[in-house]
Amino acid sequence: MKSEWWRGAIIYQIYPRSFFDSNEDGTGDLIGITQKLDYISDLGVDAIWISPFFKSPMRDFGYDVGDYRMVDPIFGTNSDFNSLLLAAHEKGLKVIIDMVMGHTSDQHLWFQESSENLTNPKANWYVWADAKADGTPPNNWLSVFGGSAWQWEARRKQYYLHHYLRSQPNLNWHDQEVVDAMFGEVRFWLDAGVDGLRLDAITTLTHDPELRDNPPLNPDPTDTKLLPVAKNPFNWQRLVYTRDQARTLELLGELRELINQYDNRYLIGEVADVEMISVSAKYTRTGEHLHSCYNFELMQRPLTVPSLSEVIAKTEAVLLGGWTTWAMSNHDNQRVVTRAERRSELQGDERALAKLLLAALLSFRGGACVYQGEELGLPEAEIAFEDLQDPFGIEFWPEFKGRDGCRTPMPWSSGLPNGGFSVAKPWLPVPREHLALAAEDQEKDPQSVLQMFRRFSAWRKQHAALVTGDLALVQANEPVLAFERRGNGERILCLFNFSNQDVVQLVSGRWQPLDGHGFDPVRFEQDTASLPAFGVWFGVPLSAA
Q: Kindly report the average pLDDT of the chain as a whole number.
A: 95
Q: Which residues of the chain have pLDDT under 70?
A: 1-2, 219-231, 544-545
Which residues make beta-bridge pairs with 540?
A: 512
Q: How many CA atoms lie within 13 A of 56 on its CB side?
A: 24
Q: Are 380 and 386 in contact (CB under 8 A)?
A: no
User: Which pLDDT score is estimated for 1?
Assistant: 39
3-class DSSP string for 379-423: CCCCCCHHHCCCHHHHHHCCCCCCCHHHCCCCCCCCCCHHHHCCC
H/E segment holding residue 96: strand 94-99
Query: What phi, psi does 351 have (nearest 5°)?
Result: -65, -45
At 311 the pLDDT is 97
CB atoms within 10 A of CB 303: 22
Fold of 470-544: Immunoglobulin-like (2.60.40)
- Give pLDDT, residue 88: 98
- pLDDT, residue 543, reads 78
Q: Structure pTM?
A: 0.96
| pLDDT per position as a tens digit, 117-137 | 999 999 999 999 999 999 999
Q: What is the pLDDT of residue 544?
A: 57
What's residue 226's pLDDT? Answer: 45
Strands 158-161 and 266-271, sheet pairing: unpaired
CA distances from 398 to 77, 215, 394, 407, 430 (A): 38, 28, 8, 18, 21
Active-site amino acid positions: 200, 270
- 353, 338 Cβ separation under 8 angstroms: no
C-alpha distances out from residue 288 to 128, 132, 257, 435, Å: 31, 40, 8, 46
pLDDT at 526: 82
For residues 196 and 265, the answer to whether their CB atoms sit within 8 Å is yes
Position 281 scores a pLDDT of 98
> 179 exposed, middle or buried (CB, 10 Å; 0-12, 13-18, 19+)?
middle
